[in-house]
């Protein structure tokens, strides 16, 4: 943290609204960018950022000017995003917005960055697929083979490969949605990676 930023934080702690506004302008866009990547909704992002800075102002006396203000903000933002995800498990509309990201996160994050527990949970869900579908899913999604390659390897049509993938994805979305803990773990991983 720069000395100028530290001075702003000290002033904020004393109730200086100009320092608060300067810190807000400094951090609102980077925070909003990270939050938007996760929640995929500008409206939800704006609500989170607004609530975050209201919280900062209300709890300014608790801020430690010797610690990273940026890290402090990101921790609060992460907790607020987690609250949104928890709420989404009870709110169908919000769930629809957020669930589209869970399979995307799974598809694009290498297996070795998941915690061992999360990877085990995902493997258990994949193992519930019928054997042929499981094989097609692993070859396409985990090994990165094309539908044509899988078609030739398993001696099935490309249409059949496509059908297996569609059904596997639908099953995985359903299972991920029903596993509150796993869904939250996936989003936590994405937050730490800045996806």
CATH number at residue 53: 1.10.1740.10
Q: Element (H or E) spanning 80, and its range?
A: helix 69-88
Domain boundary, last residue among 54, 88, 122: 88
pLDDT at 109: 40
Q: Are residues 79 and 133 in the same domain?
A: no
Instruction: Provide CB contacts within 8 A for 62, sequence distance 6+.
Output: none
- Measured between alpha carbons, how far is 141 from 109 in angstroms, rounded to an integer? 11
Q: pLDDT below 50 — which residues of the chain? A: 102-115, 188-195
Q: Are residues 96 and 189 in the same domain?
A: yes
pLDDT at 183: 53
For the chain, how long is the longest CA-to-CA vector?
Answer: 72
Q: Are residues 84 and 9 in the same domain?
A: yes
Q: Are residues 14 and 101 in the same domain?
A: no
Write down the residue that tokens 């085990």 correspond to: 120
- End-to-end Cα, the chain, rounded Å: 24
DSSP structure class, residue 15: T
pLDDT at 189: 44
pLDDT at 53: 92
What is the gyration radius of the CA atoms in the chain, in angstroms? 21
pLDDT at 68: 85
Instruction: Provide CB contacts within 8 A for 52, sequence distance 6+.
Output: 31, 73, 76, 77, 80
pLDDT at 132: 92
Structure token pair of residue 90: 């009870």
Which residue segment(s) compose the domain that 14 sits in? 3-88
């Amino acid at each position: 943290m720069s000395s100028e930023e530290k001075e702003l934080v000290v002033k904020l702690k004393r109730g200086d609204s100009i320092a608060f506004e300067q810190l807000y302008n400094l951090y609102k866009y980077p925070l909003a960018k990270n939050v938007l990547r996760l929640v995929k909704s500008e409206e939800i992002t704006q609500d989170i950022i607004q609530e975050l800075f209201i919280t900062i102002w209300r709890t300014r006396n608790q801020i430690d000017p010797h610690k990273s203000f940026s890290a402090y903000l990101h921790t609060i933002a992460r907790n607020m995003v987690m609250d949104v995800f928890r709420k989404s498990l009870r709110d169908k509309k919000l769930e629809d917005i957020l669930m589209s990201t869970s399979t995307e996160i799974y598809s694009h994050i290498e297996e070795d960055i998941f915690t061992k527990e999360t990877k085990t949970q995902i493997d258990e869900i994949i193992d519930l697929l019928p054997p042929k579908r499981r094989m097609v899913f692993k070859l396409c999604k985990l090994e990165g083979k094309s539908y044509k390659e899988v078609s030739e390897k398993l001696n099935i049509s490309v249409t059949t490969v496509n059908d297996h993938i569609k059904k596997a994805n639908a099953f995985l979305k359903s299972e991920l949605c029903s596993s509150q803990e796993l869904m939250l773990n996936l989003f936590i991983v994405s937050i730490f990676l800045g996806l």
